[in-house]
Chains A and B, each alone.
Chain A
Amino acid sequence: NAGVTQTPKFRVLKTGQSMTLLCAQDMNHEYMYWYRQDPGMGLRLIHYSVGEGTTAKGEVPDGYNVSRLKKQNFLLGLESAAPSQTSVYFCASSSQGGSNQPQHFGDGTRLSIL
């Protein structure tokens, strides 16, 4: 009964390093999302995908890239990490994109950029 799984759970990077966050869902959902959560700002959408092979920009996409090569996986990449990207990152998925389809969230990845 995994749902949405994010790896890693924690990571510390130095400025300029790159890394990839992995999100996997086992619910056969079409839609997947990456959010970042910062104190006092709620969750903000970084990128999303409406199906395998597709990606689109959210409201704060700069500095991030994503890929959806397989339906069950949605990868978030940081090419050159910056301290402003220190945050908690959440992946979510939904069966469709309609507003009556709730999004299911993973437990988050806590990322610190020094």
Chain B
Amino acid sequence: GEDVEQSLFLSVREGDSSVINCTYTDSSSTYLYWYKQEPGAGLQLLTYIFSNMDMKQDQRLTVLLNKKDKHLSLRIADTQTGDSAIYFCAESMGYGGATNKLIFGTGTLLAVQP
């Protein structure tokens, strides 16, 4: 079945690294995404990784993909208070033969302590 799981909460100190983890079940997913949701706002695409990649780095963000274990992680280096938000992992899969359906995790609330 389709299922994406994340831990609910992570607390870090400003300046430390944050690692948010995600597990998924559909091995046929071609892309995996990380979205950020700030209070009262919509989802902002942070980064995504193609399933044939192991790692993708984008400034302070590093995405690691372990396809064998169906495990995805997002590392935020030098975490800032502005990084406090809910982070959603999502896997993509074909849906109805014509479109990309996103299966979202429940989200991880990242709290950054000054």
Interface range on chain A (Cβ under 8 Å from partner): 20 to 34
Contact: B100 with A107, CB < 8 Å? Answer: no
A60 at the interface (CB under 8 A from B): no
Contact: B42 with A43, CB < 8 Å? Answer: no
* Smallest CB gap from A38: residue in B: B106
Contact: B99 with A48, CB < 8 Å? Answer: yes
Q: Which of A4, A90, A97 contacts B100 (CB 8 A)?
A: A97
Q: Which of B86-114 contact A (CB under 8 A)?
A: 88, 92-96, 98-107
**Known contacts A42-B4, A43-B88, A50-B99: A102-B104 contact under CB 8 Å:** no
- Other A-B contacts than A43-B88, A99-B31, A103-B45, 8 sampled, CB-CB below 8 A, are A4-B42, A42-B103, A43-B104, A56-B99, A99-B94, A99-B100, A100-B30, A108-B40
Contact: B33 with A42, CB < 8 Å? Answer: no
Interface residues on chain B, number (Cβ under 8 Å) = 30
A12 at the interface (CB under 8 A from B): no
Q: How far is the CA of A107 from the CA of B38 in the complex (A)?
A: 10
* Smallest CB gap from A6: residue in B: B42
Contact: B107 with A104, CB < 8 Å? Answer: no
* Smallest CB gap from B93: residue in A: A99
Contact: A105 with B106, CB < 8 Å? Answer: no
**Known contacts A41-B106, A42-B106, A99-B31: A90-B98 contact under CB 8 Å:** no
Q: How far is the CA of A43 from the CA of B105 in the complex (A)?
A: 8
Contact: A100 with B31, CB < 8 Å? Answer: yes
Q: How far is the CA of A40 from the CA of B109 in the complex (A)?
A: 11
